[in-house]
Structure 1
Amino acid sequence: MKADHYDAFAAGYDAENAGSLLNAWYERPAMLRLAGDVRGRKILDAGCGSGPLSAELRRLGADMTGFDGSPAMIELARRRLGDDVPLTVADLAQPLPYADDAFDDVVASLVLHYLEDWHPPLTELRRVLKPGGRLILSVNHPLVRPFFFPDEDYFAIRQFSEEYEFAGRPGTLTYWHRPLHAMTDAFTAAGFQIASVAEPAPSPDTPAELLPPRLASGERSAFVSFIFFVLEAR
């Protein structure tokens, strides 16, 4: 799926992203926790979408730069972030318009699972990171797809699509399932060392009405949705 596919439902996606359980109360808080103290750090938001993660990281003191393949998403990000955050339309599957060793950290929030081949984008993200810099990323958890479709081959890298409604507007997203070992092999082949793997619970501040019943009752502490990695550039 090309990132400009988002142009058709960018505004609806942005509205959904602002308050949904999975984005606002689960994925974004987890990315911020993994990033930690970002004051003064130069951070590239790879696949920044409409800019909500960049906005939070800037609020915490980071010096942000962002890109996305969707012109409509970049326009929304410009409205959110103003003129002091450099934003570019760029394709993660192509060479990036940044110098070597330009950033202390890269964040890639729910981006890589749209791509079949991870080696070129990971190699580019490694290139623009300073030695010892971090790539903090989230992707679909590899156990979700086989849980709902047990007849599918967990170990096969395969494409699939899902239908959604974003603030009442329909949208189709196309992903690539890959097993955990294919993820970690791609990380190390691109020159990263895995520093952390996280399967977090939703934010403790999540409104109770948004939680699945078994979490709201205290029976369960978390659910499987995304998986998070902190990688260090070697």
Structure 2
Amino acid sequence: MPDHSTVVEDAVENAVENDYDSFGEAYARENERSLINNYYARPAILNLAGEVAGRRILDAGCGAGPIMASLRERGAEVSGFDFSSTMVRLARERLGDDVDLRVADLTEPLPYADGEFDDVVAALVLHYFEDWDAPLAELRRVLKPGGRLILAVNHPTVYKFVRPDGNYFEVEKWVDEYVFDGQKAMLTCWHRPLHAMTDAFTAAGFRTSVISEPHPAPEAYELFPEDFKNRKAFLCFLFFVLEAA
């Protein structure tokens, strides 16, 4: 009998990789209440952003727009884009027609001027790309000098837990099956070791200001007791604040 990883990898050959146009609505519904997104990744990004009133912020890979909505509530002027037209539609339904939302591909030139933004948020986006050179170059281009790139990616150490036979020190593709609000989805990501991440940041013209492995939001412990039991934190994503040199 084939193992789970073989079945998953065979299945993805007949599917569109990371097809958020097909499962985006289910993904958005799931993330409105999930521990990982709503009570871990999202609060961590907002905490790292800090005081944002009056700042122009681009959400790269904005999804259905929950981070944009929170940043706008805190006084930021927000713009966003996503590769998925479904996710952009959901973000527009959340944020209204007056917000700058676009369908765009981070592997291609972005439709923004040089130095247009004070900050860029890229939450759970970069790990979808094998090559980080072009995406990071574009994110650096649209940032003002001294601007911040606030990002989250899969924590590199998690790769060895989910793929024990994988090589931590190489950039490797991995595929897994998820269920979002009852709908199955295939996600393809690229593992890269920590040194490869920081090397890419430096090559793109960034200085690493913060590396964070945060705890979940305080209310998560009461809402998800079975996920914690005797622990207070877990490894899932790795968060960075980078400064445009």
**TM, length-normalised to structure 2:** 0.91
Asked if 1:179 is matched to 2:193, the reply is yes
Equivalence map 1:1-234=2 (5 Å): 5-206=19-220, 208-213=222-227, 215=228, 217=229, 219-234=230-245
Change (3 A) 1:141 1:123: same
Q: Any unmatched runs of 5+ in structure 2?
A: 1-14
* 1:150-172 deviation digits (Å, cap 9, x = unpaired): 22110110111110111101111
Task: Report the CA distance between 1:221 and its aligned residue.
Answer: 2.2
Q: Does the CA contact (< 8 Å) of 1:101 and 1:130 recur in 2?
A: yes
Amino acid in the other structure paired with 1:90: A
| Structure 1 moving runs of 4+ over 4 Å | 1-4
The DSSP-based 3-state class of the residue aligned with 1:19 is coil
Write the letter of the residue equivalent to 1:226.
Answer: F
Structure 2 counterpart of 1:150, one-letter code: P
SS of structure 2 residue aligned to 1:14: helix
Unaligned runs of 5+ in 1: none
Deviation at 1:3, TM superposition (A): 7.9
Q: 1:3 to 1:164 in 2, by over 3 A?
A: closer
Aligned-pair CA distance for 1:45: 0.2
The alignment of Structure 1 onto Structure 2 pairs a total of residues equal to 231
Q: Which amino acid aligns with 1:203?
A: A
Residue 7 of structure 2 corresponds to which residue in structure 1?
none
The TM-score with structure 1 as length reference comes to 0.95
**Post-superposition offset of 1:81:** 0.4
- After superposition, the CA RMSD in angstroms is 1.5
